[in-house]
Amino acid sequence: MSFNKICFTQTIIGVFFACWALSVSAQNNYHEREDVRTWINNFAERENINPEYLSHYLAGTQKRERILSLIEAPIKTPIGWYEYAPRFLNDNRVNEGASFWLVNEPHLDKAARFFAVPPEIIVAIIGVETYYGRNVGGFTVLDALATLAFDYPRRADYFRTELEQFFLMVVDNNLNPVLLKGSYAGAMGIAQFMPRSYRHFAVDFDHNGKINLWTPADAIGSVAFYLYEHGWQRDGKILSNAVITDESFVSVLPLIDNGLSGIKSWREWQRLGVALSEPDETISDDENLALIMLDVAKDTPAYYLAHDNFRVIMRYNKSRMYAAAVTRLAEIVAAKHRRYD
């Protein structure tokens, strides 16, 4: 083949791939997709937002395969509490929690006064969520939410709602949507709020005219307000150690589905053969409780009665092990803090 023919052929191939790349880019670019344009127009009309504003920011947003691979990762064999807990109940996280408390004590004390949530619970939630702000996530929130809203059919409705809430949030707070970083699922800040929670429960706790959950003050106040709004009870119990009488295992264990039961009154639990481990502890017969199981070692279950405040923590994250880690970390950090006083 002559040199000229080779050059001509390479030129044609180059043009083909350039056109193909532009075509793929247009298909992947969200603001070019018909379904996304429909969403933009409907959302803009419903919330009285300029559709060009939405289209402008979605123009630089494309499907991120890394986000999809993370959220679609195969579910691993569930780990036990004895494997889960050390991630959060280690010396480093406890020491960092005590330091975080000392540095932010005025904000924590204010949150306790305003919302009745103890400082140690707020510290523990922030500690479990982001290691006191060390791990807030490195994904562009807009990329994460758009990818999951438009290319993750299983939960598209949920993430489209969160994407809407995100745009309303940045408009309300005069933020640049492409600069905000968070988790691959779109959770933001030290407290890891999703956009809907950000809009409904985030507070300007340092009164500087802006809500910024990447700062400790606003994160502390917002965690406390979130728990308060979901029913936190001042000075309420969280977990009580329980035992099940030998003759009652057959009737009680089937009630604990994946480690967590439904709600029953303390009177009903006693009738089923559940008792308190601490002889001096008392619970009102009419108090509603859940029974949970945590395997403290392999093939070694322990049982606890979950009070309302434990279930409030589960509103933050529905995992019983998450709520137990927060509860236990709070206890240990509080003990460490008392030694500093």
Q: What is the pLDDT of residue 5?
A: 42
pLDDT digits (tens, 9 = 90+) for 104-125: 999 999 999 999 999 999 999 9
How large a percentage of the chain has pLDDT more than 90?
A: 80
Mean pLDDT of the chain: 90
Q: What is the pLDDT of residue 23?
A: 38
Residue 27 near residue 33, CB atoms below 8 Å:
yes
Residue 127 near residue 329, CB atoms below 8 Å:
yes
Q: What is the pLDDT of residue 262?
A: 95
Cβ within 8 Å of residue 66, ≥6 positions away? 184
Written as one string, the DSSP assignment of 83-106 is HHGGGTSSHHHHHHHHHHHHHTHH
Selection from 200, 144, 191, 148 nearest residue 169 by Cα? 200
Selection from 313, 142, 302 nearest residue 223 by Cα? 313
Cα 317–Cα 286–Cα 289 angle in degrees, nearest 5: 25
d(Cα 297, Cα 85) in Å, to the nearest integer?
11
Q: Which CATH number fits domain 67-73+135-229: 1.10.10.10, 1.10.8.350, 3.30.360.10, 3.30.9.10?
A: 1.10.8.350
pLDDT (average), residues 209-219: 95
pLDDT digits (tens, 9 = 90+) for 130-182: 999 999 999 999 999 999 999 999 999 999 999 999 999 999 888 999 999 99
Give this prediction's pTM. Answer: 0.89
Helical pair 91-103 and 105-115, crossing angle rounded to 10 deg: 80
| Catalytic sites, residue numbers | 129
d(Cα 58, Cα 237) in Å, to the nearest integer?
46
